[in-house]
Amino acid sequence: MNELIERVTAWIAGDPDETDRETLELLVRDGLIDELERRFAAPLTFGTAGLRGPVMAGPAGMNRYTVRRATQGVAAWLLGGPVDAARGVVVGRDARRGSEAFNDEVVAVLLGAGIPVYEMPGPLPTPLVAYAVRALSAAAGVMITASHNPPEDNGYKLYDASGSQIIAPDDETVERLAAAATTPELGSRGDPRYHHVPAELLAEYQRHAVARFVPRGGSDLGIVYTPLHGVGGATMTAMLAAAGYRDVHVVRDQFEPDGRFPTLAFPNPEEPGALDLAIARANEVGADLVLANDPDADRLGVAVCGAEGWRVLRGDEIGWLLASDLLPGAGEDDVVATTIVSSSMLAAMAKDAGVDCVTTLTGFKWIARAGGDRTLAFGYEEALGFAVDSRVADKDGMTAALALARLADELAGHGETLLTRLDEIETRYGVHAVDQLAVRVDGPDGPEHIAAMVDRLRDDPPRLLGGEPVGEVVDLATGWRGLAPTPGIVLLAPPARVVVRPSGTEAKLKAYLEVVVGPDDRPLVVQRRAARSTLAAIRDQLSTRLV
């Protein structure tokens, strides 16, 4: 306990936030050791998408001191690295609780270290930061966001000079330098090295995206759009209008940025009920398509109205639809990419189109790099992340929305829909039924519990999955098929596959399930029923083991 109190005392001495200092001092005074352990036992680290955690005092939380130290690590990394730090850093933020104050810390620390800053002119979507890093030839980019996490969270996303999220060993270097941080010199926006990101650069992003995915002659497609209380509203609706969509409606109660997310249980378009208000609005105005961005607009959720009513599409289904439109235009030097937890459908579609398909670890920091020296024509992950244009080296829910809207418009012109296109894809390549199972484990010992669950599954895997024998058990910690080692297990029982891994953004253990049936001579509805029956059996089986 003495060692813990020493760490808390040292943290308080450096914390620039008076309220946070007082909070920790009260916890020490009242002897609330369990709460202090929660805040100090496991400091935030760079996971799948950077730092991410609850807004609270202490190294396990997002707060001004955590951000200050992380930015000191970034500054030291840039000043000692191969990229000229004088190229500057792009800094942006969303509208979550604490984002503005955290943004201010980033700007002050970088300027104090003598590094130029290009700051976004207000809370704006994450993809614009990734775009600006490349467009300005900056040395790095920082985005303050927790994307689709619960309202109490915030985060710190770091891009390198390529406009992609950092990977090892750079993330480890930044963490090591941040841990060694001392009291920084702070700069101000009056420094001549301070700049706003030019408005013209942001306008060019919109012009390029619209020109790339504009429908011919405008469109009367009925669309309802919601940014889910996030920062994508103004940019997305402006692009839809510029592209010629004449029948666009928004969800008014969710349009303005609001970090409380008052109409949502979770601000994630994947969550059940997240699109309910948008679907109600679509019924009200007679729209056929719902488009939703998550709070920082790097993800895209979609709902489609069909003969049996509204259907919220899975991320894999959106990925297949976009691939069906983009693969025919891919060049000889292009590649497409997806992750080990996404459906295997893209590989089948790419093979048929004669395009190389790369399977990466989870996260867009890997997908964005999948092309190497070649061009990434399309990349996606099942968690509603899509890259449809190589000017942004990260997922982008806004350009993906334009691409999907154009496809829906073109299909409507031929009397078809996104749902009939999905029928065509599965008829040709087989039914790829997918599902997810998640176990949430909160508390300071959550990571240990999650690791223990992975260990138990590796040491005592099921012999059967859905009635089929498990032919191979892969420990991802030793690497697999050229992938870097990562925590997780793969169970292969053709036609079934299960990937179990700790979430990189939340305190969860996740299982990703896929069953492939066909293609064969049976009606598609029969193939789908068979695939989903097997999938349900596997889900039930795993739900009793992942505890």
Q: Can you list the positions of beta strands (E) in 31-171?
A: 51-54, 89-93, 117-119, 140-144, 153-159
Which residue reads 């990394």 in tokens? Answer: 77
Q: Can you list the positions of beta strands (E) in 375-418?
A: 375-381, 385-387
| Sheet of strand 508-517, all strands in order from the earlier edge strand to the far edge | 431-440, 508-517, 496-502, 489-493, 472-475
Element at 174 (helix H, strand E): helix 170-179
The tokens describing 275, both together, are 């699109």
- Angstrom distance (rounded) from CA 186 to CA 67: 13
Largest CA distance in the chain: 72
Which residues are catalytically annotated? 147
Please answer whether residues 360 and 346 qualify as being in contact, where contact means their C-beta atoms are separated by less than 8 angstroms: no
Give the contacts of 294 (CB within 8 A, at least 6 positions apart). 147, 148, 228, 230, 267, 268, 269, 301, 384, 397
Give the contacts of 180 (CB within 8 A, at least 6 positions apart). none
Element at 417 (helix H, strand E): none
